[in-house]
Each structure stands twice: as structure tokens, then as C-alpha cells.
Structure 1
Amino acid sequence: METTGTQPDIPILFEDNHLLVVNKPAGVLSQEDHTGRPDLLNLCKEYIKKKYDKPGNVFLGLLHRLDQPVSGVMVFAKTSKAASRISEQIRARKVKKSYLAVLDGDPPPNGVLEHHLLKDKKKNITQVVSSPRKNSKAAKLSFQTVGRNERMALVSINLETGRAHQIRVQFAEIGTPVHGDRKYGRTSDSDIALHAHKFRLEHPTLKEKQEFVASAPDTFPWNRF
């Protein structure tokens, strides 16, 4: 995707009449907020508007979000039909999301993490609670360690649920926070090392299974593995 000025380059992974799939750069907002900084949704709308010479407002359905410091696969719907059908897949947990993360410390070779999470919306922070309580939500993920060095580990993660800050909170809870996580971790010598690696869904009109893959950044600490 061509951009100008200080706007970031947005690599396109897939595009047809119904879907636009991109590799979100770290540091870019998923959608606009009060800061007025460039956001992925509006950047992609502008891309479609220019590429297809569309007048007026461009429809683009935001189906899911990534935290601002997180990079990786994001899927947008170019039609209302696609938005409705994929949103239903997400609600039914038929969509599968896989992440890569670099962790500080020495996690087990593999495992399953299950916690109850409670989000403080005013502070925009999520915490683990010892038992279910009002407004808490169950969170579950599985992981496999795929690389190690002297002080970090690379893990592949499959999300079973999609809670706010879930991966960051759950790994911090077991003592191996995501590297570079200033909110839940203990290091800040790089951006947060969390990347949405794969997104699997059923195409909204073709009814075929599709998997979209975004390679992890070739920067520290990813390039240590």
C-alpha cells in the first residue's frame, strides 16, 4: 500500500472483492482515537478510495483489533455481507488466531494457560483474579516454545478466547512477560515483541478455508531467533 509523508507503509497480504488483509505495523492504531494519530482503518479506507476512485465514504468493516504496539495480520471486510458473516464466525469461535511472542525468562516447552481476567476500563489495564467475579472473563490459550537463547524464548500461541491484553497478562502472571511490554513486563529496550502471525477463517462467499500469514519483524528481539 503506497503512503505519503509520515504515514506508515501498510503491506497488503490479500485482497479481493470482499476482504482486505494487511500486516499492521507496530505502533499504528487499529482505529482512530482522541490523539488524531494515523490509524489502520482510515489508512485502508483511503487506499481503497484512491485505488478504485470511489466517491464519498468508503465502507470497510473493522472485524477485530490489535493493541497499538502489536504488529501482524488484520482482516477487514469490504462489504457489509462479508462483515456480517465473518463477525458471526468470530462470535461462534470458528476463527482461529495464532501469535508469536518473545518472552523474558524461561517458559515451559509447551502448555495451556487458563485464568480469569478483569479489565479496568478507566486505567486500560487487565488483571488476573483468583476466582470468577462480576465482569471477569475466562481466558484460555495454548503455547509451544519454538526457540530459546540465554535470556529469552520465542513462543507460538493459539488463542482460545480473545480478551483484552490476554496474552500479555497471562504470560506476565506466570513470570515470563512479553519482551518490551512496558505495561505488564519489565523491559523497555524495544517495542513489545508480540505479533499476530496467522488468521484462519472461512471466506464469506467462497465458503473455503483460508489462512493469512504475516512474517514477524526482522528487528530486535525477533532477529535473535
Structure 2
Amino acid sequence: MRPVVLDEDNHCLALNKPSGMPTQGDESGSESLVDWAREDLRVRYQKPGNVFVGLVHRLDRPVSGVVVLGKTSKGASRLSAQFRDGTVEKVYWAIVEGSPKEDAGTWTDRLIKDEAKNVVRVGAGGKEAVLAFRVLERWKGQSWLEVRPISGRSHQIRVQLASRRLPIVGDLKYGASGRLSASDGGHRIALHARSLRFKHPTTSAATLVVAPVPSDWPGPSS
């Protein structure tokens, strides 16, 4: 499965990242979303030499969904500032094992990251993480949630759900009962970055980008 262009202008490029593709290069040597975008722009616009692509936020490798990139240094720096300041509205869909007691609410935890093991846990003394949620649908043994991270901590959604015995389907790292395969045979989890709402970096116009769920998404597609 390849990335899909969702929106594009002179300063921004929004892509639907497939699960299994790293957002940026890592030790695996796999093609990253940034690598793909750079080559795609070079070919489509017949650009000689290096093509600028500015990374302003990330999705975990097994997560699918919308990622916005800067096509100019001005666009990248202004988008980065919005993510850093927490003014970007991020909406995710998750399929979890189990079901929350409430239909909606907000959870606040403190998260500690083990950099060596690349895992995060809830614990005193960590950084505050705030997550709003609402239940979209319940089934036997699973639930479909809309989640909105108010803060931007590493693995935040995955950890805050797992700490409440609501692990994301397929998320073996955080306690899921079984593996979930991506369309390419790799590993994915049932977490999808559904939309981003931000101010355009040069016009300040309100911008909403919505990412359709991919074919390997295990839940509803409405």
C-alpha cells in the first residue's frame, strides 16, 4: 500500500500514511513517508536536485492516517509551531479490546518514556497527558472510539487506553491479545489518524484534512 495525496498547495502536502511505513527514516532502512514524498514531488514536478520536505509531526509506524508536511521552509516552520503550541486539532479512530464504562470523557495521566526500550508507561513524575474520547460504537468484546489527544506525548493514545484495560486491537506492545496484519503482510494496529485541523501557514485560513481509512482497517469506514 502506498501513501495517497489528500491535499496540496505551494506550502503544504497532506498525505494518508499507510500502516507499516515509518514517517521518517529509521534503523530498519525501510522507505519512509518523507522519502516517498520527496521522490514523488521530484517526479511529478520534474525537479532537478534535492527537493525540500519538512517533517512537522509524526505517526508511529503501525498507525495509518493523515500526516501534513511542509513543502517550503516557511510552511514547515509555521506548521511546526502550531504542533508545538498544541493548536492543531487531532482526531483519531481506534478499535479497542473491551469497552469504556462511559460514553465520553477525558482522561489525564502522567507518562514516562523508556528511551532505550521505546516504551511508555503511566507513572508519577512523568509528563502530563490529556486525552478526550467518545464511543462511536460498541460490539461484543470491542469498541470503536474517537479520541482527541489534547497533549502530544509519545505513544500517548496507545498507553492511556492500555492503562485502562482497553488496548488497541493488534497493539502487542501495549497488551493486545493478538496480532493484526497490514495489507502488505506487516504489522498494524487499529489506530488511524482521521483528521487534522490547523491554520494554513501562509494564509491563516482554517484547514481541515480528513483521511479515509485504508483497506486493512479492521473497523467501520463511515
- Establish whether TM, by shorter chain, passes 0.5: yes
- SS of 1:187's equivalent in the other structure is coil
2:207 alignment counterpart: 210
Structure 1, unmatched stretches of 5+, are: 1-7
**How far 1:185 moved relative to its partner?**
2.1
Q: 1:60 to 1:224 in 2, by over 3 A?
A: closer
Residue 5 (structure 1) aligns with: none
Paired letter, 2:54: G
Q: What SS does structure 2 have at the residue aligned with 1:222? A: coil
**Structure 2 residue aligned with 1:165:** 155
**What's the CA shift string for 1:182-217, capped at 9, x where partnerless?**
100222241310000010100011110001001223
Aligned residue identity for 1:155: L
Structure 1 residues 224 and 210, CA gap change in structure 2 (3 angstroms) = closer
Give matches, 1:145-184, under 5 Å.
145-184=135-174
Shift of 1:93: 1.2
Aligned partners of 1:219, 1:34: CA distance in 2, in Å? 25
Q: Is the 8 A contact 1:25 1:70 kept in 2?
A: yes
Q: Residues 10-46 of structure 1: CA distance to partner in whole angstroms, max 9, x if unpaired? A: 1110011011100000110101112111111000000
Question: Secondary structure of the equivalent of 1:102?
Answer: strand
TM-score between both structures, scaled by the size of structure 1 = 0.91
Matched, 1:94 2:87: yes
Cα displacement (A) at 1:84:
1.1
Once residues 86 and 163 of structure 1 are traced to their aligned partners in structure 2, the CA distance between those partners, rounded to angstroms, is: 18
Structure 1 counterpart of 2:30 = 37
CA RMSD of aligned residues (A): 1.4
| Amino acid in structure 2 at the alignment position of 1:123 | K
Which runs of structure 1 show a deviation greater than 3 angstroms over 4 or more consecutive aligned residues? none
* Structure 2 unaligned blocks of 5 or more: 181-187
Which residue is equivalent to 1:121? Answer: 115
**Could you list the per-position Cα deviations for residues 99-133 of structure 1 after superposition, in whole angstroms to 9, with x for gaps in the alignment?**
0000100112111111000000000000100x22x
Aligned counterpart in structure 1 of residue 65 of structure 2, from 69, 72, 96: 72
- Say if 2:22 and 2:31, in contact at 8 Å, map to a contact too: yes
- Please, which of 37, 55, 63 is the counterpart of residue 48 of structure 2? 55
Equivalent of 1:199, from 192, 196, 199? 196
* CA deviation after TM superposition for structure 1 residue 220, in Å: 5.3
Letter of the 1:175 partner, please give it.
Answer: R
Give the aligned residue type for 2:55. L
Tell me the SS of whatever aligns to 1:183: helix
2:184 maps to none
Return the offset for 1:223.
4.1
What secondary structure is seen at the aligned counterpart in 2 of 1:23?
strand
Give yes or no for contact 1:179–1:185 (8 Å, CA) kept in 2.
Answer: no
1:140 corresponds to 2:125: no
Letter in 2 for 1:204: P
Q: How many correspondences in the alignment?
A: 214
CA distance in 2, matches of 1:201, 1:102: 25
Residue equivalent to 1:3: none
Take 2:111 and 2:155, find their aligned partners in 1: how far apart are those partners? Answer: 9
Q: What displacement does 1:54 show?
A: 1.0
TM superposition shift of 1:224: 9.0
TM-score (structure 2 length as normaliser):
0.93
- Give the CA deviation at 1:167: 0.4
Cα drift, residue 155 of structure 1:
0.3
User: 1 CA distance for matches of 2:33 and 2:9?
Assistant: 18
